Structure 1
Amino acid sequence: MAEKPTENSLRRSVAPALVDGHIHPDKTSWGGPWMSRRPAADLRQLIDNDRVTQAGYTRGVEERAYALLSEARRSGTLAMRAHVDVSSELGIANVEGVRAAAERLPGLTVQIVAFPQFGLLTNPGTLEAMAASLDAGADLVGGIDPGGIEGDLHGHLDAIFGLADARGRDLDIHLHDGGEDGLAQIREIARRTVASGRHGRVTIGHAFALCDPSLPSLGATLDAVADAGIWIATCALGPDPVPDLDLLERHGVRVVAGSDGVRDSWSPFGTGSMIDRAHLLAYRTGAITDAELERAYRLASTAGGEMLGIEELSGPVTESSPTRLEFSAESIAQLVVDRPAPLRVIRDGVDLIAS
């Protein structure tokens, strides 16, 4: 077998900055002692475990989020969509903690989603807390499984679209529900996206129902998603299903990659590195060709920049671009496979590693 090229044998290549399209920095245990996880048989148990874990942390949200966000920036992530828990119990404390952490990291753009992880209609007072969080550093309105968790598709969507309308905000909705029911929920979100004039301003995270090619209405649902300009955020985590990227591309559906939870109660895995996530997405989707590997990098970088509306992070770069990453690698394809740490992380001409 041929030896792996050494760093000195590889030319320095430039690449677009990485963008994490879906991450939960308020939940992380990053930088702290090892945390053993409890087993969970379903989504509700995972959420219950998360509630207990968050209540038991001895380090505050800002400290834990800062540790993770710092690591992400060192790894080349210059922007992220952060889903942050808001509830009647937590109030807006997690949003304030993540926003404070982000403000300590020049060069890192953090969009915060007010996320009703513990329920909205089923947890009275949460909608009011979400509204307050939009004044305390949150940028978008979130949602959580209107059917499977809330048990009221239209009531949940009425609440979050209503709040988004009242405050002029975009939406990013978690949707784990699978099967035809999951697809029906996605089509209703698409219908409301078009009706409210939000083309391109709504994201659905996970969208596991879109990953099942056996569902009869999958094609029609993908067309509805594309027509509404809805973004799909996938994380390729553990046993979670991943979408057929070729199929989604053929239907015109836009996709971004994200980390999801990093070293939290949900999973012991995750590094905060979107290079690692691009590698995992490529592996999970059977990438072989350079074009397929390059697509994985694009979903972890410029696609996220486009979703977040950040022009400087949305297109190709050159050796003279003021915002870029530099690696020892022959190509983007090799970068995705080998996962080297960036040599330089540059935004607006400033090397964030050196500084």
Structure 2
Amino acid sequence: MPSLTLTNVRPWGGEAADIHVDGDRITAIHPTGRAEPTGERLDGAGAVALPGFVNAHAHPDKSWWGKPWVSYGGKATTQGRIAHEREYRDALGIPSVDSATAVLREYLRHGTTAARGHVDVDLGVGLRGIEVLAEASAALGGAVAIAIVAFPQDGVMRREGVLKLLDEAAVAGATSVGGIDPASIDRDPVAQLDGLFDIAVRRDVGLDIHLHDRGELGAFQFELIIERTRRHGRQHRVTVSHGFALGELDPARQTALVAELADAGISWATVAPPRSAPLPWRELRDGEVPLGLGTDGIRDLWSPFGDGDILRVALDFARLHGLRTDADLTYAVELATRRAAGFVHRDVHDLVAGARADIVLLDAQNVPDALVRCPRRRLVVAGGRVVAADGELRI
């Protein structure tokens, strides 16, 4: 790839600067006019520059995006959604390379350049979803970097053979294996978690466990995960996704659990759904518990909603948690960018020399203004390539 210089941009809404890119890396950032631009030169006209957005919890394999409209059906419970999806996904051709590619293209158009993809692995679909997502990512030349979680949507212990599939997925390249509601789906939390941690240890992969269970049942499962994380030495390799119960507990219980999560090095991913209880985000931040934002599914058999714009999810997070000050609004954007590096296995994801050249330009006064307006992305650079301009893809 030729070298590229983005001139007159404002990293994180600060002073005007030029960002120099060579290959897929940012090589330098200088005050505008301080150094001679190299390679292709693009004038940012004073736009705010942010790192590419990171989707820390996504299901890009199971969307019907790009297909005819599918009306919502089935029962609005976790078990009901699972059953409905299993009944109709084959008729809709899920998973498909075309739909997965279309979803990744929407991510990219909105500035998402990295995602943690939870890919269904079960007795019906096998590992096909992983193959589909790999092909979709390749079709875009890796512009959206994907970290794959092998996800047992239909449960683990209640379907004999799923643990074996998850183990095979870890061998096939999944960087994490997933779990789901060990108590209410499998009704055997000890067996599910012990099976998952066994794979994680033997294959040296991460764990990412969906927890929808509420109240004390959810909190009990947090405790089981914390204990096993410590026992097996998996600190900084385990994530809880959703974890609605944390927001529902009394403040003292929240504080104690957050301290335990921090000590065990467990991270947290949320999609900030509007009717959920707010998380104790200040305690999570101050305890240095990594917190990531995700879109969840987009136009799938669970929900017709979603457009792939993680900046809008950050706005939902800000509204749900009552964020108002400039510092707090900027924090919400940081959750969708540089603070999410670990969710896609990066040490650094930011506008700094040495980082992958994932850059988004927005017409905004500052970062809080960009969050509350979610303006069209003026330019998206992914791995050093200009992939979108003025909201339209170029690849």
After TM superposition, the score normalised by the length of structure 2 is 0.82
Aligned residue for 1:340? 375
Aligned residue for 1:159? 195
State, as a whole percentage, how many aligned pairs show the same letter.
Answer: 34
Code of the residue aligned with 1:27 in structure 2: it is K
Q: Deviations over 1:33-88 (max 9, x none)?
A: 11101152421111111212312213652111110011101211111100011111
Code of the residue aligned with 2:75 in structure 1: it is A
Aligned residue for 2:216? 180
The one of 117, 135, 147 equivalent to 1:111 is 147
Q: Do the aligned residues in 2 keep the contact of 1:175 with 1:206 (CA within 8 Å)?
A: yes
Gaps of 5+ in 1: 1-9
Change (3 A) 1:113 1:32: same
Secondary structure of 1:51's aligned partner: helix
Code of the residue aligned with 2:247 in structure 1: it is C
Secondary structure of 1:135's aligned partner: helix
Aligned residue for 2:167? 131
The one of 327, 334, 338 equivalent to 2:362 is 327
Alignment of 1:261-340 (within 5 A): 261-313=297-349, 315-317=350-352, 322-340=357-375
The one of 133, 137, 140 equivalent to 1:98 is 133
State the Cα RMSD in Å. 2.0
Give the distance between the partners of 2:76 and 2:135, measured in 1 at CA.
35
Quick check: 1:241 aligned with 2:259? no
Which deviates more from structure 2 when the two are superposed, residues 304-313 or residues 98-107? Answer: 304-313
The one of 39, 42, 53 equivalent to 2:88 is 53
Code of the residue aligned with 1:125 in structure 2: it is G
Give the distance between the partners of 2:291 and 2:94, measured in 1 at CA.
34
The structure with more strand, counted as a fraction of residues: 2
Secondary structure of 1:269's aligned partner: coil
Aligned residue for 2:16? none
Quick check: 1:203 aligned with 2:203? no
Gaps of 5+ in 2: 1-44, 389-393
1:89 CA displacement: 1.6
Q: How many residues align?
A: 344
The structure with more helix, counted as a fraction of residues: 1
Quick check: 1:83 aligned with 2:115? no
Secondary structure of 1:160's aligned partner: helix
Secondary structure of 2:171's aligned partner: coil
Quick check: 1:20 aligned with 2:46? no
Secondary structure of 1:217's aligned partner: helix
After TM superposition, the score normalised by the length of structure 1 is 0.91
Which deviates more from structure 2 when the two are superposed, residues 330-339 or residues 31-40? Answer: 31-40
Which deviates more from structure 2 when the two are superposed, residues 282-291 or residues 215-224? Answer: 215-224
1:213 CA displacement: 3.7
Give the distance between the partners of 1:346 and 1:215, measured in 2 at CA.
42
Secondary structure of 1:84's aligned partner: strand
Secondary structure of 2:101's aligned partner: helix
Aligned residue for 2:100? 65
